[in-house]
Chain A
Amino acid sequence: MLRDITLGQYYQTDSVIHKLDPRVKLVATICFIVSLFVVKNWVGYAVAAVFLAVMIRLSNVPFKYMVKGMKAIVFILLITVVFNLFLTPGETLVSVWKLRITKEGLQLAVMMAVRLSFLIVGSSVMTLTTTPNSLTDGMEKLMRPLRIFKVPVHEVAMMMSIALRFIPILLEETDKIMKAQIARGADFESGNLIRKAKAMVPLLVPLFISAFRRANDLAMAMEARCYRGGEHRTKMKPLRYAARDRIAYGVLAAYFALCIVIRTCL
């Protein structure tokens, strides 16, 4: 089940996009999302579509693989479309029973669908081409100014990357404990909601205990390896902008400027 969600899972291949600094990709993703709300007409969406298509092409990630990841959110997409389609007042096109499809509704629904799917595909280009680790690194560096406001940027980034490392381990552990309890006759499937919730106790208690034990062990191992927070720390893989990152920022600025021009002039 959990494996079906390819949304955001790193796709190992070699491409210009993969090589870009994670900060560039983070900034670009944010800009792209903002641009989707900046443009308000079909020309604008066409520009966004071209931009996205070029990025996908450059990323070397098969388009099919991205679409597969979309399956998980098709439902959300459908609801949005349906709501917009039937609940927008305006000039009636078709009416079935009590439901009316209006011209405005149709327009809005299509627009929302385009926006949402662009938004999701756009962000997945980032997560598909960036390892979770360099993503946290990028965030840490981008958010560094927030330290002035006493935001523990390094600690948050460290927590995120540890969480990412332990998710697969804890998933495996959940599976193991579940099987062990099933072997003792536990039933996780039948019964009403309350019974099902109760049945989770033999799974959750051992899981929490194990997570705490791991956290404790890990803290000790980190201290033993001289970990003392973000101070004095150097980086094995420091983030440095290369020429291609500067070019990317340039391309991004041009795209964003074009979007604003389209909004104001057309």
Chain B
Amino acid sequence: MSIILDHVNYVYEGDTALAVHALKDVNLVIPDGQFIGLIGHTGSGKSTLVQHLNGLLKPTEGSIYYNGEDIHAADYDKKKLRSRVGLVFQYPEHQLFEIDVFSDVCFGPKNLGLSKKETELRAYAALKQVGLEDEYFYQSPFDLSGGQKRRVAIAGVLAMKPDVLILDEPTAGLDPRGRDEILDQIARLKEETGITVILVSHSMEDVAKYVERIIVMNRGSVMYDGAPKEVFAHYRELEAVGLAAPQVTYLMQALRAGGMPVAADATTIGEAKEEILKALGKE
């Protein structure tokens, strides 16, 4: 069970003068159950890439396999693919349309042709998974706060019970607490269900705390792909393309340069604290 991208290229408006080569020869293997951070600045191709994973965009060249099957083969059931690979867009609350929260979350499973009972069970479970209290279920989604709306929208995708959940900048525009709550919720969900999660972000700090693998996109190509420590070790190169490693990484580098014996590859506050305390002999 995996997603494989084989020499994927994508060109926007191919036959016009405005052609943009959004993806260039992307090769990736996404095995089951990984927690992945997909990083890149605006225009790096990360949003284009995730839209390929559930077949919304078709590669100009190259192929994509889901569980060994070519998703653009003539007889492939794309609708089913979209229920297996759930994609939550940026500002997903902008897609809410139903009169109440519960009906909106039912939209996905209903489209899958499930029975009313199954649809409602799934919607209920999904709303619980994102931590929304029962009192909001029959309110209009437009009366909720920004953070709550976003949870409802995420639940709308979760209700399809995907094996892979992709979230495109799920924290954009939220305040710090809202951001932490959403990310913690996603991490918990990952732990409980074991699904694959791909978190698209431009914040290295957010991603470093949660994920086990980071894919860095730059100008349509995969620039780095590895564990956070390996990727952040290239902090100078990341900086050159307008991405910064977590603040902590810089701090540790500076301390090392100043003669303090700390491991320079700490990427989270916890790790940094441990290293510094060790160096100061406080442990």
Contact = CB atoms under 8 A, between A and B. Distances in A.
- Are chains A and B touching in the complex at the 8 Å CB cutoff? yes
Contact of B107 (A176, A179, A184, A210): A184
Contacts of A184: 82, 95, 107-108, 111, 156-157, 160
Contact of B83 (A3, A176, A185, A187): A185
A185 B13 CA distance: 26
Contact of A202 (B13, B89, B107, B142): B107
A194 interface: no
Nearest to B87: A183
A179 B89 contact: yes
Contacts of A176: 89, 94
A201 interface: yes
Interface string B93-122: 011110000000001100110000000000
B37 interface: no
B96 A182 contact: no
B108 A206 contact: no
Contacts of B94: 173, 176-177, 180, 206, 209-210
Nearest to B93: A206
A201 B107 CA distance: 12
Interface in B47-63: 51, 54, 56
B96 A206 contact: yes
Sorting the interface of chain A by its residue count into under 10, 10 to 19, 20 to 34 or 35 or more gives: 10 to 19
B92 A182 contact: no
A185 B79 contact: yes
A182 B56 contact: yes
Interface in A203-230: 205-206, 209-210
B95 A180 contact: yes
Interface in A154-210: 173, 176-177, 179-187, 201-202, 205-206, 209-210
B40 interface: no
A147 to B, nearest CB: 40
Contacts of B92: 180
Interface residues of B, number: 24
A111 to B, nearest CB: 36
B97 A187 contact: no
A221 B130 CA distance: 35
Contact of A177 (B95, B108, B160): B95
Contacts of A3: 13, 16
A173 B107 CA distance: 20
A210 B96 CA distance: 11
B79 A201 contact: no
Given A180-B92, A180-B95, A206-B95, A187 B79 contact: yes
A180 to B, nearest CB: 4
B246 interface: no
A202 B111 CA distance: 12
Contacts of B107: 181, 184-186, 202
Contacts of B156: 184
A32 to B, nearest CB: 31
B220 interface: no
Nearest to B51: A179
22 contacts: A3-B13, A3-B16, A176-B94, A177-B94, A179-B56, A179-B89, A180-B94, A181-B95, A182-B82, A183-B54, A183-B86, A183-B89, A184-B82, A184-B95, A184-B111, A186-B107, A187-B79, A187-B111, A202-B97, A202-B107, A205-B97, A206-B97
Interface of B: 13, 16, 51, 54, 56, 79, 82-83, 86-87, 89, 92, 94-97, 107-108, 111-112, 142, 156-157, 160
Closest 9 CB pairs of A and B: A185-B111, A205-B97, A180-B95, A184-B108, A183-B87, A180-B89, A202-B97, A206-B97, A179-B56
